Structure 1
Amino acid sequence: MNEETVCAVHLGENFCLYFAGLECDALCKEKTLHRVLRNVNSQLLVVRPDLNMAAFEDVTDQEMKSGSGMHFNIHYYKTTTPSAGMPVAFSIQVEDKSYYMCCENECGKMTVRFREGEVPKEIPGESNIIFFKKTFTSCSSRAFKFEYSLAQGMFLAFEKEGYLRKLILKKLSREDEVDETMKISF
């Protein structure tokens, strides 16, 4: 049996401890961007916690400037598996409260929800708040799709429901399929 000595090398940002020769599976928050999210129709994603939903809506410039529930924080996490995509979490301020996006199983169907609270600085294992950011297609580097980390092939998308375009999780039927409802740009 081989014994190895492991020494702490340095204390990184957010107090993450790094060891020589080892890679930590924990996700540590690296940076946060502040963006509005748009769908293929240039509609903005608007969160309405009082109605427990988020939908893409037509928003005027004036509404966007003063609008609550439209300006997202996109939290990027360091990863040891970059091939899966960049791990991100979403949060938003509505009035004086913070909400984070997560996915929950409701009656056998995965549903996107916004829960009150902050996203953690460090995530030790799997989490229902992490999505993998991937370029939408190789020729559109400014548009992305977001795969749910706990269900491979499930992506954030929108679905028409009456006059609404609700934010949902949607299964991609084939890996090479291009589904415009999953296209999100900043």
Structure 2
Amino acid sequence: MEKPVTTNRTLVIVAHPNLTESRANANRLAEIKDLDNVTVHDLYATYPDGKIDVEREHQLLREHDTIVLQFPVYWYNVTSMLKTWFDAVLIHGFAFTFDGSPSALSGKKAWLAVTVGSTLETYATDGAARRPLDEYLAPVTQTLAFCQLDYQGFHAVYGMIFETSDETLALDAKEYRRLLANSETPVG
């Protein structure tokens, strides 16, 4: 008897304040739009007034096995909407506990899909940023870990303010699709 095939349901939470002008994020979303196992959730489009429907967000998180946060890195941080989402949605009793009991997010996988204005070389110890990107993402990754999510790493494309080539963006979008379609995790 064959084992039933299980599909990993992935929630891609997009937090880009100006998605229509984003080359990389728009390419990524266009590349994954037909994936049956992926739900794309654009926070800025869903909540133009900035008021988060916490119950709706909790339900979306419960319904998915993997959570991908897709956002541009702004001033070494997440966008304002993603920070608002963290504050409203990742609350005690749902996303974390203090007594060691499981949260609603326990055991779900999570990873980051980020776009970065500067080049990869900028994020070296001898570069302008003076440390690698993963060190700047540490507050986000610690938040995910505190919420008992299984952090898997990040997938990044660099150099957005330096007019990254269409070819590079197309390759990035194809890799993003491959990761999501195969329920794989990034190595970044």
- Please indicate the TM-score interval, normalised by the length of the shorter structure: under 0.3
TM-score by length of 2: 0.23
Higher relative contact order (CA 8 A, sep 6+): 2
Greater share of residues in strand:
1
TM-score by length of 1: 0.23
Greater share of residues in helix:
2
**Which has the greater radius of gyration?**
1
